Structure 1
């Protein structure tokens, strides 16, 4: 593994063998519940797109703005909020952002028109970027140094659980009630997360405010810059297609809404187990793990339109897609942590920002393609972005190796 010449000496606390208390782990769980609530809210429209589009009188491509708008705003709020927050206690910021999320769900649930719906989704975006920046950067502060990786994995479990339970459950609720009831149910979940954070998350004072120069400094370094490009391409590949998976399965694959609900549930469940399975190899062979999952994503996006008339074929490909995307967030989180170990908050802010740019631009371009060219062209576009992601990965050259104990303080990167 190569070391960047311009990285300063590490300042991570060494593992002194101290175990984390129960209260510490409860704080991590409270943040994980918040992660679950945020991801469920962010991607809830994926399963509700046809219903919302029909009731509010817009096309499916236009309805995709429910994913695009929060992505655009979150891309700005990820670094922007951290710059504005300055030295504010991070616990207070957590509570503020979760309150905004609650407001977003209530506005969306009662939206009388599509513009009001977008207003609610904009509030989500304002909260989303800051939350993810805090969650990924603060995970190691909530527990003892030796448990920081487990804390991060626990918070990411909230993401995979939202994919497993949140989005399919929202679709299920809408199937017997309405899409508005899905947003209301998510609001209840957010309220639970807010209460948990209020009582369990300790004070997290900030000793150094994030500065614009910290963000610019990271982007001037080749390794973090190329890492962010790779992440953008792969997340763009996923969300340009996944945003419109429900209309595709409904129209092109001719599946019933009941079958789609179960298939999305299967997507989430297999992604949940994929997240745990990849954790056993991601540290030892990070580059290989990333490459395998991007390749599987590209295969799924290429194959789905070809197999659209085979119900079993479609199901198999969607599950393979779930395997890939279930593992990629953890892979990329570890990659960025190693790429920016001397500036964790700046690295986290840029990571979250670039993901949201990819979600917003991917869903927006995907919507234009869906409305003007068709579903199959959209999936072909996504597979092309995944291929570019593999090219970006190949540009890192030397095969990554597992860092040993001596190399960690030296701030090893994934190259």
Structure 2
């Protein structure tokens, strides 16, 4: 009996570092999109237009896209625990600064600090989770990271908006900052020290990009993320104007998208190692199908539910499978490879939102799925013909 108890305690201890990383993922993901729900309050407080306040979101995405690679190369030789704790400390301090902002540009500067922390965090969190995972549980470790993101979509974003509406937008940032300091303490206590990657320089980039699977992984990623965010960036007005749904119904349906992230992470952890190629194809084809079916599904709530379930599940598979393949195919310089992936991902977010906006103003919001679907066809072809034959077996 004593041996069983000791074994259980040991097993719990093995998973505590991953739990700390999951909490970190939750708080980072919650923070990224919080300003979207608080733009009106921020604009009113600083007596600026909502479009000027919205620049925070655009600049945030482009800072992440442009700084992911250079920042990761700069810190590539730093020990993983020290680096992770330093990132979370910067993240927390930047949120406290956001809460104390006396003007728009001070708030913008604090968000740039958060974006820099974000750029490094998403470059190292997945490789670190895989590195510290118990033997044979790498897929489960990755699914925990995705679960943190999914829970942020389900709970974190609505809660942050509710706090902002009830007590003011500053308190939302303040609470995120304080929770981040608590997460920092948790990380400092349970995260093991691991050997950092060897210092990486820009001169080594050509060698990294010679890895057969890496360029097609990046190509399919930027195409698929652009396709996804062409539609997803404007999913709320689409549901309101094209599907004619109430605001409360839209909130519930978007929550379903996050719930499918949890479902997808469970499926991934069980079947990825045995069905890598199948899950990749399901992800890419599922997103493509979801985009093309978006407009036809708008005729009823039931069909929208089915559509979002398919789309949310496929998007989860995409994120998990493609990050796993970067790690699998790049044994050395993984964090740098992930930093490029993160930068490309954010280019896709910005590009998709831009294309979606042009579609809404030039055609109408009902066409966003079709335009995104056309882009996703290119991603499907590139994945099946160019990427999959080059993946490490």
Q: TM-score, normalised by structure 2?
A: 0.84
- Alignment equivalent of 1:77, drawn from 41, 59, 67: 67
Distance 1:337 1:20, change over 3 A: farther
- Alignment equivalent of 1:308, drawn from 286, 298, 304: 298
1:87 is paired with a residue of what secondary structure? coil
- 2:49 counterpart of 1:57: yes
> How large is the Cα RMSD of the aligned pairs?
3.2
Distance 1:298 1:196, change over 3 A: same
Residue 331 of structure 1 corresponds to: 321
- 2:283 counterpart of 1:293: yes
1:396 is paired with a residue of what secondary structure? helix
Residue 99 of structure 1 corresponds to: 89
Tell me, in whole angstroms, the C-alpha distance in 2 between the residues paired with 1:202 and 1:380: 47
1:11-30 alignment runs, 5 A limit: 22-30=12-20
1:335-374 alignment runs, 5 A limit: 335-374=325-364
1:15-414 alignment runs, 5 A limit: 22-45=12-35, 57-59=49-51, 65-108=55-98, 117-173=107-163, 181-206=171-196, 208-396=198-386, 413=392
Shift of 1:173: 4.5
Question: Is the 2:277–2:388 contact (alpha carbons within 8 Å) kept by the matching residues of 1?
Answer: no
Question: Is the 1:68–1:363 contact (alpha carbons within 8 Å) kept by the matching residues of 2?
Answer: no
Shift of 1:211: 2.1
Long gaps (5+) in structure 2: 1-8
Larger helix proportion, structure 1 or 2?
Answer: 2
Distance 1:98 1:397, change over 3 A: closer
2:341 is paired with a residue of what secondary structure? helix
Question: Is the 1:137–1:345 contact (alpha carbons within 8 Å) kept by the matching residues of 2?
Answer: yes
Question: Is the 1:30–1:197 contact (alpha carbons within 8 Å) kept by the matching residues of 2?
Answer: yes
Q: TM-score, normalised by structure 1?
A: 0.80
Question: Is the 1:239–1:359 contact (alpha carbons within 8 Å) kept by the matching residues of 2?
Answer: yes
Q: Choose 153-162 or 20-29, whichever is displaced more.
A: 20-29
Shift of 1:209: 0.9
Tell me, in whole angstroms, the C-alpha distance in 2 between the residues paired with 1:22 and 1:91: 19
Shift of 1:373: 4.2
Distance 1:366 1:399, change over 3 A: same
2:295 is paired with a residue of what secondary structure? helix
Tell me, in whole angstroms, the C-alpha distance in 2 between the residues paired with 1:379 and 1:95: 40
Residue 4 of structure 2 corresponds to: none
Q: Choose 261-270 or 273-282, whichever is displaced more.
A: 273-282
Tell me, in whole angstroms, the C-alpha distance in 2 between the residues paired with 1:281 and 1:39: 26
Shift of 1:393: 0.6
Distance 1:100 1:203, change over 3 A: same
Structure 1 residues 88-119: Cα deviation after superposition (integer angstroms, max 9, x where no partner) = 23222212221232244445556677655544
Tell me, in whole angstroms, the C-alpha distance in 1 between the residues paired with 2:382 and 2:373: 14
Tell me, in whole angstroms, the C-alpha distance in 2 between the residues paired with 1:255 and 1:109: 35
Distance 1:253 1:114, change over 3 A: farther
2:348 is paired with a residue of what secondary structure? helix
Long gaps (5+) in structure 1: 1-18, 401-411
Distance 1:68 1:288, change over 3 A: farther
Tell me, in whole angstroms, the C-alpha distance in 2 between the residues paired with 1:87 and 1:254: 53
Tell me, in whole angstroms, the C-alpha distance in 2 between the residues paired with 1:283 and 1:253: 39
